[in-house]
């Protein structure tokens, strides 16, 4: 079985400061990992993904994430937060070796990011 944990329901950060949104995962094989963002009353938008290769993945809007296999983590980061980054962020995982219905994405419970002006 695959699972994702986002340990923080809420993260507050001042504008201009670096931000981190945490994600840890559990899969039996190697993972595909994703970050999505959801703005109020909107669907989820893709930010970035890790499939293989470089552990540091760069995505949309200046976000990046670092894959750490030993810690089974995939934390989302941004060097300088903007007020417009305030949104709900979801981490998702799929086991690369899974088949059938297990090939689907499993989402975390989400982290509400608030960037204070």
Partner 1 sequence: NAGVTQTPKFRVLKTGQSMTLLCAQDMNHEYMYWYRQDPGMGLRLIHYSVGEGTTAKGEVPDGYNVSRLKKQNFLLGLESAAPSQTSVYFCASSPNPAGTSYNEQFFGPGTRLTVL
Task: Give CA–CA dist 24/68, Å, rounded.
Answer: 9
Q: Which is nearer to partner 1, 46 or 61 (CB)?
A: 46
Residues that bind partner 1 (CB under 8 A): 4, 9, 32, 34, 36, 41-46, 49, 51, 90, 94, 96, 101, 103-105, 107-110
Q: How far is the CB of 66 from partner 1 (least distance, A)?
A: 19
Q: How far is the CB of 13 from partner 1 (least distance, A)?
A: 21
Q: Which is nearer to partner 1, 44 or 82 (CB)?
A: 44
Q: How far is the CB of 117 from partner 1 (least distance, A)?
A: 26
Between the CA of residue 29 and those of 24, 40, 71, 102, 106, what are the distances in Å? Answer: 15, 34, 15, 12, 14
Task: Give CA–CA dist 76/29, Å, rounded.
Answer: 22
Q: Which is nearer to partner 1, 35 or 78 (CB)?
A: 35
Q: How far is the CB of 47 from partner 1 (least distance, A)?
A: 9
């Amino acid at each position: 079985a695959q699972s994702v944990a986002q340990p923080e329901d809420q993260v507050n950060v001042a504008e201009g400061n670096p931000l981190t949104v945490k994600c840890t995962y559990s899969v039996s094989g190697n993972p595909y990992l994703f970050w999505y963002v959801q703005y109020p009353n909107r669907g989820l938008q893709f930010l970035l993904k890790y499939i293989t290769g470089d552990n540091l993945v760069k995505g949309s809007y200046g976000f990046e994430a670092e894959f750490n296999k030993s810690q089974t983590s995939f934390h989302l980061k941004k060097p300088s937060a903007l007020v417009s980054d305030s949104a709900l962020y979801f981490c998702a995982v799929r086991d690369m070796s899974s088949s059938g219905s297990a090939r689907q994405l499993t989402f975390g419970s989400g982290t509400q990011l608030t960037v204070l002006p």
